[in-house]
Amino acid sequence: MFELKKLVSALLMPLPAMLILGFLGLLLIMFTTRRKFGSLMVLVSLCGTFLIAFQPLSSRLLMPLERQYSAFLPINESIDYVMVLGGGHVVDDDIPPTSELSRTSLMRLSEGIRVMRMYPGSKLILSGYAGGTDVSHARVMAKVALALGVSKPDIILLESAKDTWEEARQASAFVQSKKMVLVTSASHMQRAMYEFEAAGLKPYPAPTNFLAQENVEQAWQRYAPQARYLEQTERYWHETMGLVWQRLRDWVANESIRDLTFSVSEFDPESVEPTQLEQDELEQQRAPQETQDDTSAVSEADATISGAN
């Protein structure tokens, strides 16, 4: 199920969708008589590819999602845990550990260490599964954290969580009622907070990896399509699909629970009235029993009279 979800979400990303649309248009042009329609599909594909890599559009889409939570500042409370959510890695012994982490993961880990150092005695929770490699993502982040000066006893690994839902449930069983700061990408923070609050936790948000910027003054950077703006659009679309999936999943779960509750409460044995046939059967069963009771009563009376004589 997890792999299917990832595959479907990857195909629904803006760039793969535009490429698929363009290839379908080429097939219509080359192998069918519907060349005008195929040309229109190719044109839509090219225009769509331009727009999703266009800064005025991509930043306008992503910025409201990223700016829902402000950067973490010190608070006048003790913090027990700082949890950093995973974000991808590779395993390559020929490159430094910091290069084995994706840019997203490295920024999350750096922010987590920054917050952790504000609160001496706090623990750093690192999460993430292997993702097709021999080493878990949590362990790769731990290797980088050790290289950046975090002591080994202060690191806690959650190595089996595959997504935010599992990370929240594992953290809930571990953290319980203690104070925790949650570190993840700014675009992912809304979805992460939803999952952690649903799991019974109330973490302090510490967003990082802000991508969208409003003040891009140079025209060649603002209006020329670039890969970094394409990344912003994909980030927005990925998180939007994730939010829709969350609501749909919870709605289905709530409907199932409500239907089960309704079916149980709907049946009241005391309120069920027997049908006429059932009443006749009950009277027939009751008649022999009453005859037997009357016979027993007569026998007991005779015995009493005989004893009196």
Residue 226 Cα distances to 113, 149, 186, 243, angstroms = 31, 36, 21, 26
Given this model, what pLDDT does residue 254 score? 84
Q: From first to last of the 309 residues of the chain, give the pLDDT tens digit.
A: 667 777 888 888 999 999 999 999 999 999 999 999 999 999 999 999 999 999 999 999 999 999 999 999 999 999 999 999 999 999 999 999 999 999 999 999 999 999 999 999 999 999 999 988 999 999 999 999 999 999 999 999 999 999 999 999 999 998 989 999 999 999 999 999 999 999 999 999 999 999 999 888 788 888 999 999 999 999 999 999 999 989 998 888 887 666 655 444 433 434 334 444 445 554 555 555 555 555 554 444 454 434 444
Given this model, what pLDDT does residue 7 score? 81
Q: Determine the Cα–Cα distance for residues 33 and 158; give it in Å rounded to an integer.
A: 56
Given this model, what pLDDT does residue 292 score? 53
Given this model, what pLDDT does residue 253 score? 85
Q: Determine the Cα–Cα distance for residues 118 and 115; give it in Å rounded to an integer.
A: 5
| Burial of 121 (C-beta count, 10 Å sphere; 0-12/13-18/19+) | exposed
pTM here is: 0.78
